[in-house]
Amino acid sequence: MNDTFKALADPTRRQIIQLLKERDLTAGEIADRFSISKPSISHHLSTLKNAGLIDDTRQGQNIIYSLNMTVIQETLGWFLGMMGTKGDDSRV
């Protein structure tokens, strides 16, 4: 959970996630959309992958990244849990 929030606490990484929401992309395609170096993007991708937010699969020379909705759903659940009646401590 902490890895997830830490991964999301960076604007570049959130943008990457937004890009992957549209369609799967190779590391290079992702890097092309930013003005920072490829190694930096690679590092961000590794952070996102480590948090379980994205998956990767090699296809020839390319590595294709895709969103993994599982962790996003879990995190959404955290917020939903937050939205119960304020002060709700489960007394019926």
Residues in the site for its own copies, rule: CB under 8 A?
2, 5-6, 8-11, 14, 17, 21-23, 67, 69, 72-73, 75-76, 79-80, 82-84, 86-89
The verdict on 45 binding DNA (CB under 7 A) reads yes
How far the first Cα of the chain sits from its last, in Å, is 28
Cβ atoms of 25 and 19 closer than 8 Å: yes
CA torsion, ordered 90, 77, 51, 62, to nearest 10 deg: 170
Among residues 17, 19, 63, 72, which is the contact residue for DNA, using CB under 7 A? Answer: 63
Among residues 1, 5, 33, 43, which is the contact residue for DNA, using CB under 7 A? Answer: 43
